[in-house]
Amino acid sequence: MDLITLKDWTSEELQATLDEAMDVKDHPDLYRQSLVGQSLGMLFQKTSTRTRTSFEVGMTQLGGHAVYLDWRSTNFTLADIGDEAQVLSRYVDGIVARMMRHDDLLDLASGSEVPVINGCCDRYHPCQAVGDLLTIREVAGKLDGAHLVYAGIRNNVCNSLIAACIKTGVRITVVAPEVNPASDDPELMEAARESGLFAETLDLVAAAAAADFLYTDTWIDMEFFEDDSFREERERRIAAFTPYQINESLLEKSDAYVMHCLPAHKGYEVTAGVMASERSIVIDQAENRLHAQKAILMRSMGA
């Protein structure tokens, strides 16, 4: 069972995965043989801390084995992506791919003979959203009726949060003056607007006052943040998005917990003080990637 985007999963499939993730977290010993004898191919075109570690450790803790493949050291850089994916799928039982472009991920999935999990692309980050929902459920005690406010640029993370929230009864308000062009998904936005759970505003203060959870992400894709060739666009975005920073002044007007998918650029989308505050649940959120990943692996690879 592929996980390319949560748009393709039913509400029941997503809820069942969250139930299993919670059970895996609470009773890890019960699952230590779940993927015995199975191997996961991990193809990474983008850098990673949380996605790589959580999948690799997750496979080990489930009794399986993970093979890490840096894109630049493979023949994926030279050959047809679909052909290489078909070959890789003859060696492993599942593939997690962290790709720059969504279209390349689709080419890989079309060639693969085993389940493909999207470990992040420029349009979606579904595994992140599953971990985020797990965190919200832990903190709030439920998903249905919780209110998440996302502030910043509408990007791959935001897309997956929208898809996840409207399938689980979480109200989501997006405060985003711009959309990352590569992440634009009119189909998703139409479904969100029809769900009754989605709202858009540019009034961050009012949105934050009504939020249970405040979520932000970097305004600039991490691979471009220190890129001098991106300097002009970086400076433009910083000027455009600074009014949407999650900072101490905003938290004085809100009782919300703060979430971030990391890595954070402190002083930009969020301040260091907020990250270190008692309201910040970003480390718990990062930990939950491990438990969510394990549940995704078991569902995708048939355990």
Out of 127, 158, 165, 261, the active site residue is 261
15 labelled catalytic: no
Out of 50, 52, 98, 102, the active site residue is 98
Q: 186: cis peptide before it, omega within 30°?
A: no
Out of 50, 102, 123, 125, the active site residue is 125
289 labelled catalytic: yes
33 labelled catalytic: no
Residue in this structure with the two tokens 């858009």, named with its chain if needed: 200
27 labelled catalytic: no
Out of 107, 132, 185, 217, the active site residue is 217
Inter-CA distances, 208 with 150, 211, 231, Å: 9, 5, 30
Residues 6+ apart with CB under 8 A from 15: 168
Q: Which residues of 144-159 are buried (b: 16+ CB within 10 A; e: fewer)?
A: eebbbbbbbbbbbbbb
> Is the sign of the CA dihedral 94, 295, 4, 9 positive or negative?
positive
Distance CA 231, CA 210 (A): 35
Out of 123, 154, 289, 291, the active site residue is 289
Distance CA 59, CA 39 (A): 8
DSSP secondary structure letters along 85-116: HHHHHTT-SEEEEE-S-HHHHHHHHHH-SS-E
261 labelled catalytic: yes
154 labelled catalytic: no
Out of 61, 128, 245, 293, the active site residue is 128
146 within 8 A of 212, measured Cβ to Cβ: yes
Point out the residues that are catalytic: 98, 125, 128, 217, 261, 289
